[in-house]
Structure 1
């Protein structure tokens, strides 16, 4: 196929006449938006070390009271997208959020979906539509689109969690906004208690639950136990991974992003296939080496990294005597809904 024409090849007056009418010739830019075989990707393999991030987050707590910050967060921005755009990938936003003892982050709701992966600390909680969700290390807490949520802290030490939102996508759609609300009244009923055992869910004899998200808190103690049981039950299984799901539908826990927990056996090296969605990896326990394209990151507990789509990722447990555990977020549900999901092996 011959090379496509360039914009510089066209008469300047012709180009100006087009622009005056808000018109743009496609052919000079066709290969930029439809490249051959592999998409153009701005997402770069990027590593955020918690040991370097944490002091700056604690300093933010000293510099800015919660009343002025509302949400005290350092954004984990991917340089490939430009730091000012606050993206980890095309559809994922990451932020490390700090809550100090006796603080309360006021109630609001917004259109982007969010989850919280608790990094460290005890005594904090998130209230989502009246359901109080305690926060402990490794817990995953959902704050889906449109649901009221607030954060409080009754403990004695700082609490930090990783926020994962589909904010870049919702912002790109010009659908991103928030509404402030009043402090919530706690209501009885907790989804993590009602759905604590695999394979069983509450029987709705007389009426179905009105909750689109019947489980908001996924305790790490239960998820970790499930991974250990899976590994013991199938010792030959290469990939020991579970998916966070909606217990009533069996579908993904949220609509746009997917969330998973992975266990690497002692000393194990695991190659994850090249798939279309971008991915985020966060170490809950252990030490993990992540090889992504031409980059290799050595990660310890609370470290985070991201990988662009269409790239295989190799994870290696650097501990020879203990398993390591990794939280993963990706864009798979979105890709499947759009019909562009690929697994290239």
Structure 2
């Protein structure tokens, strides 16, 4: 029989005798066909994720109040999670595979040393004087910096400056948690090495890597932990000069020694959005989260128009039709997506 002739009207659970359902339930088995279309919808996935914007001007006061209400000793990590309304508050997800939170640390505080199975990044939103130490490498935190804390690596945060420091956390926590593989281990505070982090010493310019890294024996999985925004912004502005008006001015964060995504499960990129020019990326099977580093504008996502400005964060569902526009000057955006996971599983697509 031609599969195209199969009926969409599959048998329903209520069509089955009550005693048959009871017998199956007692054995912890269930018929697939009443739920088949829900698990494998035809042509396009069913999506709970909603296009949504979290305005930093609204989130920030709640984060500052958290600093007043909950000392770091009671919080360990003082974070407000950005919860997509399509999934509900209890799910703690921005998209099905991406967890995003806003973390606050105050002067003199230390978020204690630990390591965990989910991979994470920290993207600095505001403040000076913060730092993250990863495996003994102390990374200063300036606005727009991206700092990796990959799965299994020890990391802790501190604040040696004045005023609040806020960063955006992005983790593959939903996927790791769904695998019943999410846990953390606490450890003593690290002894940070005296030398500067590798972003300031070893990986200062694209196309140049330490000679010893050519040997596979000395290569490490995460050679660069910090990606300074001052360098990324300069590179975006240079790329803008030679990029056609209808093309993306966008750079991917990668492992400088392999060219692969800097984490195995999540992808990261920075984009310059030109003032007043509509930009429509190709729809993708990946979900994503967009954070506004500088500027203002709006995004139309599956017919929903969301206005955004500096510090705001936007959730973008899979397979979405998207149009971005910056206004009153160029905008700079940071993107997180789950494309590396989909590529590894063999079903990533662009349409």
Normalised by the length of structure 1, the TM-score is 0.97
Q: Does 2:176 correspond to 1:170?
A: yes
1:182 to 164, 181, 188: 188
The 5-angstrom pairing of residues 251-266 of structure 1 reads: 251-266=260-275
> How far apart are 1:214 and its partner, in Å?
0.3
Q: Does 2:224 correspond to 1:215?
A: yes
The 5-angstrom pairing of residues 135-174 of structure 1 reads: 135-174=141-180
Q: Does 2:240 correspond to 1:227?
A: no
Distance 2:261 2:112 in 1: 28
Partner SS for 1:40: coil
- Residues 173 and 206 of structure 1: CA distance in aligned 2, closer, same or farther (over 3 Å): closer
Partner SS for 2:292: strand
Tell me which residue corresponds to 1:245.
254
Tell me which residue corresponds to 1:326.
333
- Aligned pair count reads 342
Q: Does 2:105 correspond to 1:99?
A: yes
8 Å Cα contact 1:231/1:237 also seen in 2: no
> How far apart are 1:294 and its partner, in Å?
2.8
Tell me which residue corresponds to 1:199.
207
- Residues 49 and 236 of structure 1: CA distance in aligned 2, closer, same or farther (over 3 Å): closer
Normalised by the length of structure 2, the TM-score is 0.95
Deviations 1:200-249 (A, max 9, x none): 11110796435310000000000001100001133546210000000011
> How far apart are 1:19 and its partner, in Å?
0.9
CA RMSD of aligned residues (A): 1.2
> How far apart are 1:313 and its partner, in Å?
1.3
2:316 to 291, 304, 307: 307
Unaligned runs of 5+ in 1: none
Distance 2:330 2:17 in 1: 64
> How far apart are 1:131 and its partner, in Å?
0.3
Distance 2:102 2:43 in 1: 35
Deviations 1:6-27 (A, max 9, x none): 0010001101101111110011
Q: Does 2:30 correspond to 1:29?
A: no
Q: Does 2:299 correspond to 1:293?
A: no
Distance 1:76 1:343 in 2: 27
Which has the larger displacement, 309-318 or 186-195?
Answer: 186-195
